[in-house]
Amino acid sequence: MPERRTVALVTLGCARNEVDSEELAGRLEADGWELVEDAEEADVAVVNTCGFVEAAKKDSVDALLEANDLKGHGRTQAVVAVGCMAERYGKELAEALPEADGVLGFDDYADISDRLQTILNGGIHASHTPRDRRKLLPISPAQRQESAAEVALPGHAPVDLPEGLAPASGPRSPLRRRLDGSPVASVKLASGCDRRCSFCAIPSFRGSFISRRPSDVLNETRWLAEQGVKEVMLVSENNTSYGKDLGDIRLLESLLPELAEVDGIERVRVSYLQPAEMRPGLIDVLTSTPKVVPYFDLSFQHSAPAVLRSMRRFGDTDRFLELLDTIRGKAPEAGVRSNFIVGFPGETEDDLAELERFLNGARLDAIGVFGYSDEEGTEAATYENKLSEDVVSERLARVSRLAEELVSQRAEERVGQTVRVLVESVDGDEGAYGRAAHQAPETDGQVLFTNGQELSVGLMVEAKVVGTEGVDLVAEVLPGSLASPTCTEEAAR
C-alpha cells in the first residue's frame, strides 16, 4: 500500500490565485496526494503567495513563517512557496527566507507532485530563477495561441469534456479540485496583461495577455455546476481584452449568454474591467442578459487627467461619469466598484480634489483606496517628484474616510429595494448572510438576513432591503421566495 502523503494549500491574494491553487490541488490529488485543510495536518504546506503590493507580500511572508513554525510540532515537514511572489523573486526570496524549503515558479506547476516529493525526501530543488514573462509569447496577440502550449499558464489547463453535463471526476474532468464547498467559484478567462501602467509590475511576472479557449471556459463551468456551484466569476488581469488573441475582441459578448445557459448556474459575474476598453456591445450584454449580473468592476485608479497620464492610463472625471451614466441608463441598479491610488508621484492638491469630485458623483458601491508606494521594476519607481510618506498617509486617510461615507450612502439608497441574494453562510449564532447582484465575493459588502432560519447555503432567494450596516445591507426574505425560480431584477430588464 502506498505511503500516505498529505498536503495543504494556503492561498493568499486574489481570486486568480484561488483558481491556481485548485489546479495545483487537482494535479496533486491525481498523483495520489491526500489534500487536507489545515497545514498542521499536512506533510507539506504549500503557500500560494501574492506579490502585488508591499502589504500583500508581507502577508505572504507571514504565512510562510507561520507554516514553518508548525515544523517539529506536528506532521508538517516542509513548507513550499508558490504563486506570484515566488515567481517574481525566486532565488532572492529563497535566500531572504531560508525557512521556506522550496520556492517554485509557474514552470514547476506541471511537475508539482515530483517537486514536493523531492523536497519531502530531503532533496533540494533549485529555486526558481525569475524572468520577464512578457518575453515568452510573441508581441503580436494574433500569434500567441500557437505558442501557448510551450508556456506555463496557471489556470489554463485544457478541458476536454463531452457536450452536456460534465462527469464529477475522472480523466476527462478539469484539472482542478475544489478546496471548499462554496456555491461560488472563479473561472479563469485569461492570463497576463498588455497594458503598461507605470505603477504595476504584474505583467512582468504574469506575462502578456492570452485568452483561454471558450470551450474550456464553458466546460469548466459545466463541471463546476455539477459540483454545486451556483455563481461563477470570470477572472483575469483584464477581462475586457478577452478574445483579441483569438481574432475576436467581442468574444466575451457571445460567451456570456452561453455561460448563463449552463444548467445549474444561477449567476455569472465578470470582474476586472478596464474603463478605456469598455464598448457599447459589452455594456449591453452585461445589462440585458438573464443570469449575467449588471456588475462593473472598473479599474479607474484615479480621475485627474495629469495623474492618469503619468500612470499611463486614459480618461478623466467627466468621461468616467459619462460611462457610469451610460451603464445606469441601461441598468439603474447596476453594481459598480473600483480601486484608487492616492499620493501618486506628482499628485497635487487640485488632482486630489478632482478625484474627490469624481467619487462624490460616481455613487460607487465599493471603493478600495491605496496609498502609493514604489514597486521595484516599475516606471513609476524611477519618477523624481514623489510625495513624502506623511503626505501619502494623510491623503490615504482623507480619501478613505470619504470612501467609507460614500459607500454607506450608496447602500442606504438601496433600502426598500428587492434584491436577489445567493445564500453563502448559515450559522446558528451569527445568522445567515449572502450577496446580492451588486456584491462580489470578498471585495464588496454582503446581505445580512433578519429571518434566515429556514435558509441553506446555495439557495437563491428574493429579499427586501430594510436597513444597512455600513456597506452591508440588512434584508428580510420575502414570503414564497424560497420556491420562486424568478428574479425580480431580471424581470425588470
- Residues annotated in the binding site for [4Fe-4S] cluster, as ranges? 14, 50, 84, 193, 197, 200
Question: Using an 8 Å Cβ cutoff, are 80 and 47 in contact?
Answer: yes
**Dihedral over Cα of 164, 169, 173, 177: its sign:** positive
Beta bridge partners of 473: 447, 468
Q: Cell 523624481, residue?
A: 384
CA distance 123 to 116: 10
Q: Which amino acid is at 427?
A: D
CA distance 138 to 147: 8
**12: CB partners within 8 A, 6+ apart:** 47, 48, 49, 50, 56, 59, 60, 63, 83
What residue numbers does the annotated binding site cover? 14, 50, 84, 193, 197, 200
